[in-house]
Homo-oligomer: A and B are copies of this chain.
Amino acid sequence: MDMRSEARQMKLQAPVLAATTVEQRNAALLAIAQALEAHKGEIFAANQEDMEAADRNLVSPAVKKRLKFNEDKLRDAVAGIHQLISLPDPLGRELLHRELDKDLELYKVSVPIGVIGVIFEARPDALVQISSLCLKSGNCAILKGGKETRNTNRILFQVIHDAAVEKGLPEKCLVQAELHNEIDELLSCDKDVDLLIPRGSNAFVAYIMNNTKIPVMGHADGICHIYVDKDADFAKAFPILIDAKIQYTAACNAVETILVHRDIAGAFLPELKKKMEEVGVRLRGTGEVMEILGDDSRENLMADSEFGTEYLDLIASVKLVEDVKEAVEHINTFGSHHTDSILTENPETAGYFMQMVDSAGVYQNCSTRFADGFRYGFGAEVGISTGKLHARGPVGLDGLVTYKYKLFGKGQIVGDYASGKSSFHFVDL
């Protein structure tokens, strides 16, 4: 496949998809849901091939759980499509309607972004979710999934694409990339691809960000903090810290660094160490932390410069701070602006933290693991953004649209307004 020519064709067909009605897009989504069920035999057979290859490659049970596409995953995927159908049309929303002058009317209307490239991990359900989110929002999408589910992806893509085109969506509404070198070609398509959403390892996302002129939405690092204030309720703190670390250790919203108010360190840290060890988590920390914990191992002793570490493993960094102010400074310096939580019963301290921490998500008394489109009630997400432009945090349908200005006149020229012959009156309608 020639990625550049595919991207060019998509770009030219993107306005056609953008012009479809929500009825057409919903009809296509319904047809996709039905086609997935009708072809489930072939889909499961393809997935069986991928699972056998995974066995041959001695893939871990945890990863195999993600590669698997069975009746349960199909049911969830189809339910997700039906939920998407029930959501209101994100397109054509009138964001502004203003009369600039008599017979000169300005509209600001929501429109799709256009052509989006999504590069995602080896999870067949992600292909279904991403392609249906893009179609609902009227965006053409180039999809590149993980190679470990190549067979499953191929049949899923075929079924979804054909159902959509059968219902009248343009041929190039969805394109699949299968080869790794096609990613590099995709990165050079800055004239035709409006947005890239890479998901996967830090190193991979950083590579994408550093090697393209196309805007990138997503996150490389997920260095999330929990600050245990002197007014924290220990009974809440331990379950939250354990959940945030081990409920899904490899997730971007798992906690990496625990900041503890110095006043409670003596009482809190030994208990934290005990409870964390019970669930297999090792604590690392600064000299004073190690001293309180009675740990003189060299590998657990941390230098300041190490606090930017994302373990994605059963390890956590621990540091003492004077107060919430120092906690905020630490987070704004070493964090990745993803999600950070304060544990305190003091509303004033919490208010300061939530105002001053410069992250997409700031939490009080709950686990950082809540940072997720499904848990926010967005239905689904294409990713989580740590950037501040456009969408921030979990990105659902809202993050896949932009807007355009439409101005309807009757022959007006700017010269008449510059000379004072005409003047604007700005009335919102």
Could you tell me which A residues sit within 8 Å of B by CB distance? 11-12, 14-16, 18-19, 98, 100, 104, 106, 113-114, 194-195, 209-210, 213, 215, 217, 233, 235-236, 239-240, 242-244, 247-248, 328-329, 332-333, 350, 354-367, 369-371, 375-377, 387-390, 392-393, 402-415, 417-418, 424, 426
Contact = CB atoms under 8 A, between A and B. Distances in A.
A365 B411 contact: yes
Shortest 5 CB-CB contacts between residues of A and residues of B: A366-B409, A236-B411, A243-B413, A369-B414, A377-B426
Contact of A233 (B233, B363, B369, B411): B411
Nearest to A352: B19
Given A114-B358, A243-B414, A106 B390 contact: no
Given A236-B410, A240-B413, A247-B414, 12 more contacts: A15-B357, A104-B366, A114-B358, A114-B388, A210-B213, A362-B405, A363-B408, A364-B406, A365-B412, A376-B405, A377-B426, A389-B402
Nearest to A18: B355
A364 B337 CA distance: 43
A122 B344 CA distance: 51
17 contacts: A14-B358, A18-B355, A242-B413, A243-B414, A243-B415, A350-B408, A360-B405, A361-B407, A362-B404, A364-B406, A364-B408, A366-B412, A375-B417, A389-B402, A392-B402, A392-B404, A392-B405
Contact of A377 (B100, B359, B387): B100
Contacts of A407: 361-364, 366, 370
A329 B15 CA distance: 10
Contacts of A242: 413
**A interface majority secondary structure:** mixed
Given A388-B195, A402-B389, A409 B377 contact: no
A333 to B, nearest CB: 8
B364 A409 contact: yes
A354 to B, nearest CB: 5
B402 A239 contact: no
A414 B375 contact: yes
Nearest to A236: B411
A143 B200 CA distance: 37
A413 B239 contact: yes
Nearest to A343: B411
Contact of A98 (B369, B377, B418): B377
A177 B95 CA distance: 37
